[in-house]
Amino acid sequence: MEKVSGKSIVQGIAIGKILCYQKAQQSVKRIKIEDTDAEIKRYEAAKETAIKQLNELYKKAVKEVGEMNAAVFEVHAMMIEDGDYVESIQNIINSEQVNAEYAVATTGDNFATMFSEMEDDYFKARAADVKDISERLIDILSGNENKAGAGSTEPFIIIADDLAPSETVQMDKEKLLAFVTRFGSSNSHTAILARTMNIPAVIGVDIKEEWDGKLAVVDGYSGTLYIEPDEDILNQMKKRQEEDIQSRELLQQLKGKEDVTLDGKHIKLYANIAGVKDVASVLANDAAGIGLFRSEFLYLESEDYPSEETQFQAYKTVAQNMAGKKVIIRTLDIGADKQIDYFNMEHEDNPAMGYRAIRICLDRVDIFKTQLRALLRASAFGNIAIMYPMIISVDEVRKIKEIVEEVKAELDENGIKYGDVEQGVMIETPASVMISDMLAEEVDFFSIGTNDLTQYTLAIDRQNMRLDNIYDSHHPAVLRMIKMTVENGHKHGCWVGICGELGADSTLTQTFIEMGIDELSVSPSYVLPIRKKIRESKAGCAD
Amino acid sequence: MVSFKFTVNDEMGLHARPAGALVKEAVQCTSKVTIKKGEKSGDAKRIFNVMGLSIKANEEVEIIVEGEKEQEEAAALEAFVKENI
């Protein structure tokens, strides 16, 4: 068994034979064309040749298999001459000033998609005809003798240096199990295709031609490729694959359904993310928004303080991708178990109760302001809300709001636009729970961080393994803290959510709903299981 | 404008071969020939339009012919359809 790692871009498990993709055979490049009239003539000549070929095939087939079965070639000729198909190709050549091969490949892909999206199986399968005629044209245009596309009859995992759109176009997608490439990015065409098809994709793998034809497993969760996997890995992956199938079935049933209880109370079911790359799984799992966007990754992934522009781009990308759905971004939450070298923090005996999160931000206001500017600027591009971690006093919140106002005034001065942002605080210290009525007067929402709240309420260090047996997140003290927060929040016009791990604990969903919780934010993979739970719960009173 | 309706008898619906046959016939008309199924319609001279309607067995389809020779061409088309589809 050989094991190689890369970067996962689409999750999932695939098991099958490797097909090493040979570029030279059928690469369709996008080439800029100056003389589009000549290119269209070249295309029309190829079209005539293709029709001639098909007529000959038809005659031959009539003799061999009879008129009925030969009709397919006649239909193919008609397709090649179809007005819509021809116009699309001419249009692409003219408007994009590209070579005919590329225009044919693109058009073929579009028309094939039209068929593959049909409900009827027969018409669905006609996508293959479109592909066939497009390949024929491309072969004629590029002078290829050999038939494009893998002649494989079994499903396969494709490995390649990289794949161009027109190359993936020509692949037999029904037989494609996974993509593994050396190059490419999470936004490449291959990645988008893999995401759309919901098949695993891994990039940055040092692929070898000798793997061709060998059995392999692609683990799109960890970004690992196993060549000739041993029994253990194979069984493990098969089990994982079955679990995926089950959850996909759940997805099908629950996708697009409302997050509403049996008695009609609507719950906002959001997802937690730790970076831009997670947005895809938020959308795939049909969450109504992002309830916790941990902004630390921007700081953890860089060598020095991330610039306003870097942060702005990340926040803006997420806001735009979520297209108007709520995106709650938590400001920098480092310290305790998350340390960053360039912050040069002193050693602390008790970092969980030390210099961390909002305490750092209010002490080093320059860092905080950079982040706030980036957040506010990004808010012009979507529905952004800002949330502050580790709050223990009203005074902190007032200071934060003053700084936000200063940043807004600076933006106004420079004529920079920003949106209306809701502001909220994390409720994760017993102090913040006890003064939640006072905090509620200052902010728009609360989000309860149950992990820290449990650790502080029970005075149990989360990292201390010896205390695991008494670390009880269902402890009545914790549940009472949550209940109190909800009540105080509602009394003063705040909506209240949970973004900690307890939010995804389906044994508590009913309890939280009874308490009156408005929002639950969970890891993307928990969205649908929790949706199922919400739809089986009763609030006691409808909204 | 002249139109007529017919029902597709073939158990596979208006699949590639009969669709192709219809297009081949329609292309010979000088009139504009439209094929209509429910709300959706397409140019009957274009195979992708016809197949794009995804017409299944026993579904009713309308053919609309518009042009100078619409009377005779519609009649010819109707005869062809009755005979072959």
CATH number for the domain that contains residue A191: 3.50.30.10
Beta bridge partners of B41: B36
- The answer as to whether A405 is a domain residue is yes
Residue at a domain's end among A114, A142, A170: A142
> Would A449 be classed as within a structural domain?
yes
Query: From the centroid of its chain, how far is CA A331?
Result: 22
With a threshold of 0.85, tell me whether the complex ipTM lies above it: yes
Where is pLDDT greater, at A335 or A37? A37
**What number is the average pLDDT over the span A430-445?**
98
More confident residue, A22 or A471: A471
The answer on A155 and A136 residing in a single domain is no
In a domain, A271, yes or no: yes
CB contact under 8 A, A129 and B13: no
A541 is catalytic: no
**Do A438 and A296 sit in the same domain of this protein?**
yes
pLDDT category of residue A173 using cuts at 50, 70 and 90: low
Confidence of residue A267 (pLDDT cuts 50, 70, 90): very high
Q: Are residues A14 and A50 located together in one domain of the fold?
A: no
Please give the share of chain A, as a percent, with pLDDT higher than 70. Answer: 91
pLDDT digits (tens, 9 = 90+) for A483-496: 999 999 999 999 99
**Parent domain of B19:** 2-84
> How far is the C-alpha of A355 from the C-alpha of A22, rounded, in Å?
56
Alpha helices in A415-475 (DSSP H): 430-434, 436-440, 450-458
pLDDT confidence of residue A196: 61
Are both A306 and A346 inside the same structural domain?
yes
For position A26, what pLDDT does the model report?
Answer: 56
Other beta carbons within 10 Å of A315: 27
In angstroms, what CA-CA distances link B55 with A122, A298, A473? 11, 53, 59
pLDDT above 70 (res A147): no
Above 50 in pLDDT, residue A172? yes
Of A91-105, A185-199, A511-525, least confident by mean pLDDT is A185-199
Long-range contacts of A154-158 (CB under 8 A, 24+ apart): A154/A16, A154/A17, A155/A16, A155/A17, A156/A16, A156/A17, A156/A18, A156/A19, A157/A14, A157/A16, A157/A17, A157/A18, A157/A19, A157/A216, A157/A218, A158/A18, A158/A19, A158/A21
- pLDDT recorded at residue A542: 44
- Which of B33, B53, B54 is the best mutation test for A, with the most CBs of A within 10 A? B54
The answer to whether residue A170 scores a pLDDT higher than 80 is no
**pLDDT mean over A205-220:** 92
Q: What pLDDT score does A464 carry?
A: 76
Residue A153 backbone dihedrals phi, psi, to 5 degrees: -100, -20
- The pLDDT score that the predictor gives to residue A171 is 64
Rounded mean pLDDT, A436-442? 97
Q: Is A65 on the interface with B (CB under 8 A)?
A: no
A255 lies in a domain? no
pLDDT (tens digit, 0 to 9) for every residue of chain B, 85 residues total? Answer: 999 999 988 777 888 888 999 999 999 999 999 999 988 999 999 999 999 898 988 899 999 999 999 999 999 999 999 888 8
Instruction: Determine the average pLDDT of the residues in A437-458.
Output: 96
Domain match, A55 and A131 both: yes
CB within 8 Å of A301: residues ≥ 6 apart: none
- Do A270 and A138 belong to one domain? no
A40-71 confidence digits (pLDDT tens): 999 999 999 999 988 887 887 777 666 776 78
User: Within an 8 Å CB–CB cutoff, is residue A326 touching chain B?
Assistant: no
How many structural domains are present in chain A? Answer: 3
What's the number of domains chain B is made of?
1
pLDDT digit string (tens) for A354-364?
A: 999 999 999 99
At A424-433, the pLDDT tens digits run 999 999 999 9
Q: CA of A82, closest CA in chain B: separation in Å?
A: 5
Arithmetic mean of pLDDT, A104-126 = 86
State the pLDDT at residue A70. Answer: 75
Same domain assignment for residues A304 and A379: yes
Residue range(s) defining the domain that contains residue A312:
262-535
Report the mean per-residue pLDDT for chain A: 88
Q: Which residues of A touch B15 (CB under 8 A)?
A: 122-123
Q: B34 catalytic, yes or no?
A: no
What's the pLDDT at A166? 41
Let me know if residue A273 belongs to a domain: yes
Which of A142, A170, A187 is at the close of a domain? A142
CB contact under 8 A, A129 and B16: yes
Q: Could you tell me the two tokens for A216?
A: 């392999």
CATH of the domain at B60: 3.30.1340.10
Span A201-219, mean pLDDT?
92
Q: Which of B6, B10, B13, B15 is catalytic?
A: B15
Residue A253 lies in a domain: no
Give the best residue of A107, A123, A131 to mutate against chain B (max B CB count within 10 A). A123
Residues in chain A with CB shorter than 8 Å from the CB of B43 are 83
Give residue for tokens 């890995």.
A233
Structure confidence at residue A148 (pLDDT)? 33
What tokens does A69 get? 């079965």
How far apart are alpha carbons A46 and A44 in whole angstroms? 5
**A165 pLDDT above the threshold of 70:** no
Residue A193: the pLDDT is 63
In a domain, A250, yes or no: no
Q: Do A115 and B51 touch (CB under 8 A)?
A: yes
DSSP letter, residue A447: E
Q: Is residue A431 part of a domain?
A: yes
Residue A340 sits in the same domain as residue A434:
yes
Q: How confident is the model at residue A436, as a pLDDT? A: 98
Q: The domain spanning residue A471 has which CATH number?
A: 3.20.20.60
pLDDT of A146 over the 60 cut? no
* Same-domain status, A425 and A492: yes
Mean pLDDT within A490-510: 94
Check CB contact under 8 Å for A78 and B47: yes
The CATH number of whichever domain residue A83 belongs to comes to 1.10.274.10
Residue of B nearest to A69 (CA): B17
Q: How far is A220 from chain B (nearest CA, A)?
A: 36
* CB distance A527 to A533 below 8 Å: no
